[in-house]
Each structure stands twice: as C-alpha cells, then as structure tokens.
C-alpha cells in the first residue's frame, strides 16, 4: 500500500528562517525510503491556530493518509502542538504515543517529558513527533511497522483483517 504523507514542522525559528528545519526533511527521507509519497510539507510558527488550521486543511483535503508533526511537544510555554492536534482529531490513538515514549525512554530519560498525542480525523492518522531530527526519526521508526495496517483499518479496506 502506498501511503501519502504530510509533514508539518512547528517551529518559531524555522518559520522565520532563523534556523533550518532538519526534522521535516529527515522524516521525509524516512517516509520516501519506504516507497511512500509526500503530499504536503510546511513549516508554521508555534501558534495553536496555525497548527490547527494546517492539520484540519490537510486532513480534510483527501490528499493525505497520515500527517506527521514535528516540534512543539515539550514543556516550553509555546509548545502547543498536542493542544492543536487534540482540537482537530475525532478520536485518540494513545497506544501510538505511549509506544513512542516507552521506546524513547530507553534512549533518554527526557522522553517522559514528551506530551505528543496521536489520533484520527476522519480517515487520516495524525501523529506528533519530537522536534529533534534524531528523536523524530527514532519515534517514527517505532510506529512505522503498523502504519499501513492502521490506514487500511481507517479506510475500511476489506483486506485489513488479513493482517491481524
């Protein structure tokens, strides 16, 4: 199954051109290495409305199956990606965020500071990832093996049950 992705980077500095976005391209490289496609990429400031609007627009466009966010999941006052995501999703997928935190904890104790969430809006899966390129890729690798099946289930693919 060819999955279509959107990658949204939330970063004040990168959105202003003060720092290059390294996480978005690192995630895109991992996604395309799987043979999947990139439908959208963008960088927005750490602002609730900008993140929420982009997530909703992409999810409702019919052009993506999965949206990955990178950045804005920590404790800093402007880290609002989980809040924006929670406003957009219809249903939560807590197991994804829990699995990522559990595996990341094996690498760094700071993993438990992640407030990342995951959930669904219609038939689109949205997953928050850390802002660090290394951590974003490591976290995506945790859930990578289940993404195609998750999308099959969301799209009510008759073959989805064969993969249980």
Average pLDDT, the chain: 96
Q: Yes or no: is domain 4-158 CATH 3.40.980.10?
A: yes
**Domain spans of the chain, in order of start:** 4-158
Sheet holding 66-70, edge to edge: 37-44, 4-10, 66-70, 124-129, 118-121, 91-92
The H-assigned helical ranges of the chain are 12-15, 23-33, 48-60, 81-88, 94-105, 133-143, 147-154
Give CA–CA dist 48/70, Å, rounded: 14
Residues 30-69 have pLDDT tens digits of: 999 999 999 999 999 999 999 999 999 999 999 999 999 9
User: Residue for token digits 């602002």?
Assistant: 47
Is 146:154 a contact under the CB 8 Å cutoff? no
Is 90:122 a contact under the CB 8 Å cutoff? yes
Is 94:32 a contact under the CB 8 Å cutoff? no
Give CA–CA dist 134/76, Å, rounded: 19
Extract the tokens encoding 70: 């990178």
Residues 59-101 have pLDDT tens digits of: 999 999 999 999 999 999 999 999 999 999 999 999 999 999 9
- Decide: pTM greater than 0.85: yes
């Amino acid at each position: 199954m060819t999955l279509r992705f959107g990658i949204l980077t939330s970063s004040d500095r990168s959105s202003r051109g003060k720092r290059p976005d390294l996480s978005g391209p690192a995630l895109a490289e991992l996604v395309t290495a799987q043979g999947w496609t990139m439908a959208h990429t963008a960088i927005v400031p750490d602002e609730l409305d900008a993140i929420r609007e982009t997530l909703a627009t992409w999810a409702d466009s019919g052009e993506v199956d999965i949206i990955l966010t990178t950045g804005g999941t920590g404790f800093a006052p402007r880290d609002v990606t989980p809040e924006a995501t929670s406003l957009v999703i219809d249903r939560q997928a807590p197991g994804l965020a829990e699995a990522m935190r559990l595996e990341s904890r094996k690498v760094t104790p700071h993993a438990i500071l992640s407030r990342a969430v995951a959930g669904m809006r219609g038939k689109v899966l949205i997953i928050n990832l850390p802002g660090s390129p290394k951590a974003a890729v490591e976290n995506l690798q945790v859930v990578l093996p289940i993404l195609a099946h998750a999308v099959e289930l969301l799209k009510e693919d008759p073959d989805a049950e064969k993969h249980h």
